[in-house]
């Protein structure tokens, strides 16, 4: 089955990105036909600085490749290199009711986060639907809280098909394996918008600095502690082996263990976990031409699929050459 996912180049990727979604995306490519793209069109809704957008896009490409994306098997490209998606977006916009967009929670959430209420942000779900539908995607991996995005894409596809014939494939959501929310160093969900992240490819010095700043309670060293209420333990769960994790859990409940000791071990495990990926990332940083060639080749492969779908949609609505 064809699996599609996109990630915005809105900053350096952090461990919340990896454990929350990226790791599962990379696992899915082993069993399915992966179509993964860097969503730079979507990133424009927050009006990024142009040079920063270009650099973040390249960084995301290197990060995915370093973390195990198979460029031979998986189609990997930059969204803006396949402009067919924007034309399909307009065709879909013309059959999408305003009420559907007004019900989307993502727009309200973004406004509450302080983003400017521009048209791109409001119409974001239509571009997202075009991303999915133009590649005849079967599965779209999302978290349970993002299910609405796929429901909107299906609704738009159904409306288009009802109006013009069975042109678009109806996608299904693939709910990602449930994982605990990855906490940031301040205890809130790890997010670039909160400035509380630990980047995947931070230097060892920076990782240590950030981990030692993780917020904990004031329980004395000698007192028992609840591991399930500790931000450090929540991160330890992601990288510690089961046996070691059990040992730490026992130490928490018995008392006599300070948060500083747990943080020091967390630093070691994070560095160890990402060490092979960090080495690959350094190699890619020295061969930017290869990274760009991967994106270019991916764009050609993606466009070969998108152009077929767009041609069918254009013909269906009366814009195709055969209608003249």
Q: Is 225 a catalytic residue?
A: no
Q: What is the dihedral of CA 55, 57, 63, 66, to 10 degrees?
A: -100
Whether 312 is catalytic: no
Confidence of residue 324 (pLDDT cuts 50, 70, 90): low
Task: Kindly state the tokens that stand for 60.
Answer: 């995301």
Q: 2 forms bridges with which residues in the sheet?
A: 33
User: Of the residues 30, 110, 205, 264, which is catalytic?
Assistant: 110
Higher pLDDT: 155 or 177? It is: 155
Q: Which residue, 281, 313, 276, is CA-closest to 13?
A: 281
pLDDT for residue 212:
97
Report the predicted TM-score, pTM, of the whole model to 2 decimal places.
0.90
Which of these is catalytic: 147, 172, 192, 237? Answer: 192
Cα pseudo-dihedral 286, 288, 293, 295, rounded to 10: 120
Of the residues 30, 172, 189, 251, which is catalytic?
189
pLDDT at 178 over 60: no
User: CA-CA distance, 175 to 286, in Å (whole number)?
Assistant: 36
3-class state of residue 114 by DSSP? coil
Beta-sheet pairing, 75-78 with 172-175: unpaired
Over residues 104-122, mean pLDDT: 79
Domains of the chain by range and CATH? 2-181+287-323 (3.40.50.620), 201-282 (1.10.240.10)
Q: Measured between alpha carbons, how far is residue 150 from residues 58, 142, 145 in Å?
A: 27, 9, 11
237 is catalytic: no
- Cα(38)–Cα(114) distance, rounded to whole angstroms? 23
The maximal CA–CA distance of the chain, rounded, in angstroms, is 82
């Amino acid at each position: 089955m064809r699996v599609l996912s996109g990630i915005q180049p809105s900053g350096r990727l952090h461990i919340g990105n990896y454990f929350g979604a990226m790791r599962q995306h990379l696992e899915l490519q082993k069993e399915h036909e992966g179509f993964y793209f860097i969503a730079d069109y979507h990133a424009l809704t927050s009006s990024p600085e142009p040079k920063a957008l270009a650099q973040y896009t390249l960084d995301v490409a290197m990060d995915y490749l370093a973390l195990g994306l198979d460029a031979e098997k998986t189609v990997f490209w930059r969204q803006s290199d396949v402009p067919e998606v924007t034309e399909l977006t307009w065709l879909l916009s013309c059959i999408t009711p305003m009420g559907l967009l007004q019900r989307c929670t993502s727009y309200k959430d973004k406004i509450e986060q302080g983003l400017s209420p521009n048209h791109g942000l409001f119409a974001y779900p239509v571009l997202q639907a075009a991303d999915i539908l133009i590649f005849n995607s079967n599965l779209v991996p999302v978290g349970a809280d993002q299910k609405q995005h796929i429901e909107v894409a299906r609704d738009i596809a159904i409306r288009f098909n009802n109006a013009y014939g069975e042109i678009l494939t109806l996608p299904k959501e693939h709910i990602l394996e449930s994982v605990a929310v990855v906490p940031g160093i301040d205890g809130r969900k790890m997010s670039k918008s909160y400035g509380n992240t630990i980047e995947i490819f931070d230097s060892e010095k920076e990782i240590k600095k950030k981990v030692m700043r993780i917020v904990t309670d004031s329980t004395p060293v000698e007192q028992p502690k609840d591991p399930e209420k500790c931000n450090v333990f929540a991160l330890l769960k992601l990288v510690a082996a089961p046996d070691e994790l059990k040992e730490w859990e026992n130490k928490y409940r018995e008392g006599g263990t300070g948060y500083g000791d747990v943080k020091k071990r967390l630093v070691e495990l994070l560095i160890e976990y990402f060490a092979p990926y960090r080495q690959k990332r350094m190699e890619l940083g020295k061969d930017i031409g290869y990274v760009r060639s991967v994106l270019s080749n991916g764009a050609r492969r993606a466009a070969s699929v998108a152009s077929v779908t767009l041609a069918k949609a254009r013909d269906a609505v009366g814009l195709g050459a055969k209608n003249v």
